[in-house]
Amino acid sequence: MATYAIGDIQGCLEPLERLLKKIRFDPDRDKLWLAGDMVHRGPDSLGTLRFLYRHRHQITAVLGNHDLHLLAIAHGAKRLTDKEYDLAEVLRAKDADVLLGWLQDQPLMVHKKVADKYFSMVHAGIPPMWSMSKALELAGEVHRALRDPAMTKAYFYGMYGNEPHKWSDHLIGVERLRSITNYFTRMRFCKADGTLDLVTKQGPLAAHHDYKPWFSFKERKTKDDRIIFGHWAALEGEAHTRNVYALDTGCVWGGYLTAMRLDDEEFFCADCTF
């Protein structure tokens, strides 16, 4: 039995199937961890969701910003654009309620033991001022909101926006949930105190004015924890930081889809031509 973590699929079903064939994935024995952004921008978001739902008992997944965007549209908090035909196909599907229900049930963070080692997985990252226990606690707040019908609509209607730029334990309500969501699903650059730059999307050389990649701070409270993440295709799979594993290698942009076998931390890639 092996466990494989895979970066942003984004509706690229054919590359996913090629990657699983390459690693000889056996659904009767092996497990998959998915680092979020399972849908959107690729050619087959509906097929990808159906594939993942079919193998749901073998899958551990976290939500990415594109997954949350699809759910927000489904809840009426955002309108489809003309270019989002892949998401429209999901919403029109007869099994949409089942697929979206499964997607909405996924957390923002997982922390589990695999092969005698603990791994944490998020979509974008964990800011330097949060400990592992703090991150798990805050991710749980959003997960509960997504599972509570009384809170879900308010969450999605208030999810969008770049403010507050900096975390505070005194934040409340939707503003608090938005801040937590931005750290877990949109963060790339921040300051040591967690102040976010949610605009800059280039690689680490774009660091500026005390803004650095979230994983690069020497005093980061999770520096001794193994963290798997996606989201940042411009890293090209290279975080150059101990215990930090960047798995978004830009499949939807013509790059590669990457998997890491957690048991021995070996990497595998599949070409993303369609």
46 burial type by CB count under 10 A (0-12 exposed, 13-18 middle, 19+ buried): buried
Per-position DSSP letters for 158-210, written without gaps between them:
T------SS--TT--HHHHHHHHHHHHHT-SEE-TT--EE-S--S-GGG-BTT
Tokens describing residue 54: 């079919």
pLDDT at 29: 96
pLDDT higher than 90, residue 9: yes
Coil vs helix vs strand at 122 = strand
Q: Strand, helix or coil at 3? A: strand
Q: For the chain, how many structural domains are there in total?
A: 1
> What CA–CA distance (Å, rounded) separates 7 from 119?
15
Closest CA to 224 of 131, 160, 87, 113: 131
Instruction: Please tell me the predicted confidence (pLDDT) of residue 96.
Output: 98
Over residues 1-17, mean pLDDT: 97
pLDDT of residue 236: 96
C-alpha 201: how far from chain center? 16
Tell me the pLDDT tens digit for each residue of 179-236. 999 999 999 999 999 999 999 999 999 999 999 999 999 999 999 999 999 999 999 9
pLDDT of res. 274? 66
pLDDT for 241 equals 97
The sign of the dihedral angle between the CA atoms of 245, 250, 256, 259 is positive
Q: What does the alpha-carbon distance between residue 89 and residue 211 come to, in Å, rounded to a whole number?
A: 39
- SS3 state at 1: coil
Interior CA angle at 165 toward 160 and 168, to 5°? 105
Partnered with residue 270 across adjacent β-strands are 257
pLDDT digit string (tens) for 29-83?
A: 999 999 999 999 999 999 999 999 999 999 999 999 999 999 999 999 999 999 9
pLDDT at residue number 169: 97
Residue 109 pLDDT = 98
Host domain of residue 263: 3-271
Q: How far apart are CA 139 and CA 135, in angstroms?
A: 6
Range 252-263 average pLDDT: 96
Residues 142-157 have pLDDT tens digits of 999 999 999 999 999 9
Q: What's 168's domain CATH number?
A: 3.60.21.10
Nearest-angstrom CA–CA distance, 246 and 248: 6
Residue 3 has pLDDT above 70, yes or no: yes
